Amino acid sequence: MNINQKAIELLEENKYDESLKLFQQALQELRDVQSLTNLAWIYCHEEDDYIAALGLLEEAIKMNPISYFPYNLLGEVYLRTEKWEDAKDILQKSIEIQPTKEAYNNLAMANYNLGNVEAAAKYFLLGSDESDWALYGHVKCLLELGYIDEAKRKLDTFSQDDEEFVGEIDLADLYIEVGSYIAAVEWFEKGWTIYAKHPDWISRYVFSLMKLNKLDRSNEILHETIKEKTEELKDLDEEEVDETWTETDKQEIIRELQDEIAEYKQTFKRISSAYIPSMEFEPFVKTACYLFGCNRHNHPEYKG
């Protein structure tokens, strides 16, 4: 068993520190595509140290690897550091080597952040599965491009039964954007007991109800939410502090809850005054295992 295989085995056994030392040792012994990429993957996914990963991957790319692994991972790092143009360029190279749904999704994200919505719509679709976030991104792009009917048709294909289903509240958000308030309310109701209450989506729920003239229900959910948050505030106020949960931490959460409650109390009035709560949409990075020699994912060691 070589160093790389032993490092991956230790990682599988959750012996992270020992594993990291071996990945670093492998790089010291031989700075090749495999050792650079594998250590970069560890820095990226175990340490959130994208700067350290960036240098290793840019070095690996200079070796013109024949595997898409370092290209996909570098594209991911560029996205996480908001280098949209660099991400777009490197992910296009990755797709030339081997198209993957991760690369397509991430290329869509790069294009979306660059304002290339038409291209983003295309690549989100290529990177999508049934009812997943990539398909969600595709529908959002269609809406921004003005293709409302096509967006609605795609939206109607989402199903809770699909493995990658985005979630009830998120789906409701998109139904608001296509003007289907009945469907939006149905999905908000399905997610009502599942999602943590937050002003962003509660306000959108109230907006949908008011568009349907269901004022009693909108007042009901606001009352229920305020009651729930007030009870949370009372429980929090009675909590004891210690070294890990300080008085400063506690007061910060108390202020956040107080602000939320104040916002809920103004929600009905604001929406009655023609305020339209906006939808928040941020594409997300789609990742995978890019470890050369990973037995769990049947990845061979790099040969180039």
Q: What is the pLDDT of residues 14-42, one digit of tens each?
A: 999 999 999 999 999 999 999 999 999 99
**Structural domains in the chain plus CATH codes:** 1-100+286-304 (1.25.40.10), 175-281 (no CATH)
Quote the pLDDT of residue 237.
85
Residue type, 8: I
Q: What is the pLDDT of residues 147-201, one digit of tens each?
A: 999 999 999 999 999 999 999 999 999 999 999 999 999 999 999 999 999 999 9
Average pLDDT, the chain: 96
The whole-angstrom separation of Cα 205 and Cα 81 is: 33
Cα 99 off chain centre by: 21
Residue 112 to residues 89, 115, 288, Cα–Cα distance (Å): 14, 5, 21
The whole-angstrom separation of Cα 154 and Cα 136 is: 9
Q: Read out DSSP for 48-111? A: --HHHHHHHHHHHHTT--SSSHHHHHHHHHHHHTT-HHHHHHHHHHHHHH---HHHHHHHHHHH
Q: What is the pLDDT of residues 76-85, one digit of tens each?
A: 999 999 999 9
Structural contact between residues 197 and 188, judged by C-beta atoms closer than 8 angstroms? no
Single pTM value for the model? 0.92
Residue type, 287: T
CA Rg value for the chain: 24
